[in-house]
Amino acid sequence: MCGITGWVAYDRDLEGERGTLAAMTETMACRGPDAEGVWLDGHVGLGHRRLAVIDIEGGRQPMAVERDGRTLLVTTYSGEVYNYRELRAELEGLGHRFRTSSDTEVVLHAYLEWGEGFTSRLNGMYAFALWDPREQELLLVRDRLGIKPLYYHPTPDGVLFGSEPKAILAHPSVKAVVDAEGLAELISFTKTPGHAVYRGMREVVPGTVVRVRRQGLTVKRYWALEAREHTDDTATTVAHVRELLDDIVSRQLIADVPLCTLLSGGLDSSAITALAHRGLAAGGAGPVRSFAVDFVGQTENFTADALRSTPDGPYAHALAEHVGADHTDIVLDTAQLMDPAHRDAVLAARDLPVGLGEGDTSLYLLFRAIREHSTVALSGESADEVFGGYRWFHDAASVGADTFPWLASEIGRGFAGDRGGSREGLLAQGLLEKIDLPGYRDARYREALAEVPHLEGEKGLERRMREVCHLHLTRFVQLLLDRKDRASMATGLEVRVPFCDHRLVEYVFNTPWSMKTFDGREKSLLRAAVRDVLPDVVADRVKSPYPSTQDPRYAAALRTELRSVLADPASPIRDLVDTRAVEQAAASATGDELRSGSELVLALDTWLRKYEVSLEI
Residue (of 286, 252, 548) closest to 379 by Cα position: 252
How many whole angstroms separate alpha carbon 510 and alpha carbon 521?
A: 18
CA of residue 255 relative to chain centroid, distance? 21
Given 2, 30, 469, 500, the catalytic residue: 2
| Alpha helical stretches, state H, 283-329 | 313-323
Provide the sign of the torsion angle of the four alpha carbons 589, 594, 600, 605, taken in this order.
Answer: positive
How close are the terminal C-alpha atoms of the chain, in Å?
A: 37
Q: Report the distance separating Cα 538 and Cα 540, nearest Å.
A: 5
Among the listed residues 517, 478, 508, the one whose alpha carbon sits nearest the alpha carbon of residue 394: 517
The dihedral region occupied by 597, where left means phi > 0, alpha psi between -120 and 50, and beta the remainder, is alpha
Q: Which residues contact 158 (CB under 8 A, 6 or more apart)?
A: 7, 8, 9, 10, 11, 43, 212
User: Strand 158-162 and strand 70-81: pairing?
Assistant: unpaired
Residues composing the chain: 617
Tell me whether residue 2 is one of the annotated catalytic residues.
Answer: yes
d(CA 124, CA 145): 10
d(CA 432, CA 428): 6
CA neighbours within 13 Å on the CB side: how many for 194? 11
Q: How far is CA 604 from CA 185, 379, 438, 597, in A?
A: 14, 29, 20, 11
* Bridge partner residues of 142 (DSSP): 127
Report how far residue 147's alpha carbon sits from residue 77's, in angstroms, rounded to the nearest whole number. 14
Kindly tell me the sign of the dihedral angle through the C-alpha atoms of 77, 79, 84, 87. negative
Three-class DSSP category at 44: strand
Q: How far apart are CA 46 and CA 132, in angstroms?
A: 12
What residues are labeled active site? 2
